[in-house]
């Protein structure tokens, strides 16, 4: 009996060695490099949890093409130089077939500048960021709507409520001219005019300077379009409201509403509107919401997972990754890229994803959430 067990173990080892030499994986590895600590840690962890929710569902159903999906997550602390270094290490150690869920404009720009995606011939599916240069990269596939769609949704809403004077406030970024052009392109058809274009820099004195410039703007803006990260948005909203600013503030999806709620009191959050690029994680309006909420409810209480937009976005992204893996025959980096380039009209449960030639944005879904005086989120 012992000799038979030993022979079995030797055979298993031999098989594992053979598979490794042939490049065959016992599981499909999806790699994520994102902030798990630091200012963006809350979003990074929630996004990863959302992806795991769906991959767990996939694995319980038998995996994809007979193999389970494993999500390997590495912390970059939100620092671009760490994003590149950790991605290089992840590629060498874990051999992922696809990357997913990266975060931050500067982080993504650094990754593209490193040339790693081209060298490794690997795709990045889904990311949180709206850098206009990143959006053109052929190896990058966004499972959310682009900045232009977000601005168009806000402009359409402003036209509906009769707001025509708009101030644009952009957190300092390399492509600010391109963002300004997008804002002008979307505002004009809606009958709105940019009466001010201001750059938001780090530091309280710089934020107060922008607030003072807005106060002096004549004619005064009726609304402010804010393109900034959550920390910068919180700093601006606090300073603007404390200086008795009355214009309606509309923020793009860079601003995470759950993070803002932890940074700002309800009275300062009241009236803030944020563009959301995935369906609400708090209500059931389509099959996708229900699947997400059911999956979250099935988690043990010890998991301490709280629904959020970042978690919902991770869940959505994992569904796209899983479908790309199913379509790849066989599963490898080249076949995954090919399946994504031909990813046409995939219904994720009321949320449609399509990648077309010349466009790396798979979705055009944008909704506006508004914080009420009581702190509740309405739509």
What per-residue string of b and e applies to 102-111 under the rule 16 or more CB within 10 Å gives b?
Answer: bbbbbbbbbb
Q: Closest Cα partner for 194 from 218, 166, 222, 219?
A: 166
pLDDT of 9 reads: 40
The answer to whether residue 378 scores a pLDDT higher than 60 is: yes
Q: What digits encode the pLDDT tens for the residues 94-123?
A: 999 999 999 999 999 999 999 999 999 999
Tell me how far apart the alpha carbons of residues 348 and 337 are, in angstroms, rounded to a whole number: 19
Q: Is 53 helix (H, G, I), strand (E, B) or coil?
A: helix
pLDDT tier at 359 (50, 70, 90 boundaries)?
A: confident
Whether the CB-CB separation of 318 and 54 falls below 8 Å is answered with: yes
| Residue 16 in this model has a pLDDT that exceeds 50 | no
CA-CA distances (angstroms) from residue 253 to 36, 66, 190, 365?
19, 37, 20, 12
Q: What is the pLDDT of residues 149-163, one digit of tens each?
A: 999 999 999 999 999
pLDDT band at 136 (very low <50, low <70, confident <90, very high): confident
Instruction: Supply the pLDDT for residue 14.
Output: 39
Diameter of the chain by CA atoms? 90
DSSP 149-203: HHHHHHHHHHHHTT--EEEEEEES-TTHHHHHHHHHHHHGGGT-EEEEEEEE-SS
Per-residue pLDDT for 176 more than 70? yes
Q: Which CATH superfamily is domain 2-144+286-353 in?
A: Response regulator (3.40.50.2300)
- 256 and 328 in contact (C-beta within 8 Å)? no
Q: How many of the other CB atoms lie within 10 Å of CB of 63?
A: 17
What's the count of helices (H) and strands (E) in the chain, helices before strands?
14, 14
CATH of range 147-276; options 3.40.50.2300, 3.90.1150.10, 3.20.20.140, 3.40.1190.20:
3.40.50.2300
Q: Which residues contact 163 (CB under 8 A, 6 or more apart)?
A: 192, 222, 223, 248
pLDDT of 39-90, one tens digit each? Answer: 899 999 999 999 999 999 999 999 999 999 999 999 999 999 999 999 999 9
What residue has token string 């066989």? 330
SS3 state at 372: coil
Contacts of residue 297, Cβ cutoff 8 Å, sequence gap at least 6:
none
HSE, CB side, 13 Å, CA atoms: give it for residue 300: 2
What's the CA gap between 58 and 291, in Å, rounded? Answer: 13
User: What is the domain partition of the chain in residue ranges?
Assistant: 2-144+286-353, 147-276
> Is there a cis peptide before residue 219, judged by omega within 30 degrees of 0?
yes
pLDDT at 25 over 90: no
Decide the pairing of beta strands 98-103 and 28-34: parallel
Tokens of 333: 């980096």
Q: Which of 124, 133, 77 is nearest to 96 (CA)?
A: 124
Separation of alpha carbons 44 and 128, rounded Å: 9
In this prediction, residue 135 has a pLDDT band, given cuts at 50, 70 and 90, of confident
CB within 8 A of 325, min separation 6: which ones? 28, 64, 65, 69, 97, 98, 331, 336
* Identical topology for domains 2-144+286-353 and 147-276: yes
| Residue 159: CB atoms within 10 Å | 15
Instruction: Give the model confidence (pLDDT) of 311-357 as tens digits.
Output: 999 999 999 999 999 999 999 999 999 999 999 999 999 999 999 88
pTM value is 0.90
């Amino acid at each position: 009996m012992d000799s038979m067990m030993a022979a079995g173990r030797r055979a298993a080892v031999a098989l594992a060695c053979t598979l490794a030499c042939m490049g065959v994986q016992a599981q499909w590895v999806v790699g994520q490099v994102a902030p798990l600590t630091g200012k963006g840690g809350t979003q990074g962890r929630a996004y990863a949890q959302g992806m795991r929710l769906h991959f767990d569902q996939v694995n319980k159903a038998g995996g994809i093409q007979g193999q389970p999906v494993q999500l390997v997550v590495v912390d970059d602390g939100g620092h671009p130089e760490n994003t590149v270094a950790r991605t290089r290490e992840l590629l060498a150690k874990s051999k992922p077939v696809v990357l997913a869920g990266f975060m931050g404009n500067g982080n993504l720009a650094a990754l593209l500048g490193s040339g790693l995606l081209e060298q490794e011939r690997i795709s990045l599916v889904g990311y949180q960021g709206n850098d206009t240069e990143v959006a053109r990269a052929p190896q990058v596939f966004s499972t959310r709507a682009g900045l232009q769609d977000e601005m168009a949704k806000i402009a359409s809403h402003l036209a509906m409520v009769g707001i025509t004077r708009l101030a644009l406030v952009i957190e300092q970024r390399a492509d600010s001219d391109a963002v300004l052009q997008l804002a002008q392109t979307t505002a004009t058809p809606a009958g709105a005019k940019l009466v001010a274009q201001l750059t938001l820099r780090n530091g309280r004195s710089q934020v107060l300077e922008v607030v003072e410039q807005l106060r002096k703007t004549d004619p005064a803006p009726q609304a402010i379009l804010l393109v900034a990260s959550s920390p910068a948005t919180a700093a601006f909203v606090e300073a603007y409201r404390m200086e008795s600013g009355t214009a309606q503030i509309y923020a793009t999806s860079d601003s995470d509403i759950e993070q803002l709620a932890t940074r700002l009191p309800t009275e300062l959050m009241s009236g803030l509107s944020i563009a959301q690029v995935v369906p609400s994680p708090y209500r059931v309006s389509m099959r996708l919401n229900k699947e997400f909420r059911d999956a979250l409810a099935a988690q043990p209480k010890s998991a301490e997972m709280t629904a959020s937009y970042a978690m919902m976005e991770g869940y959505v992204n994992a569904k796209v990754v899983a479908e790309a893996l199913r379509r790849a025959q066989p599963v490898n980096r080249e076949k995954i890229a090919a399946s994504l380039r031909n990813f046409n009209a995939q219904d994720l449960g009321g949320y449609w994803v399509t990648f077309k030639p010349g466009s790396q944005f798979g979705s055009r879904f944008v909704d506006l959430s508004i914080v009420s005086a009581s702190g509740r989120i309405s739509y």
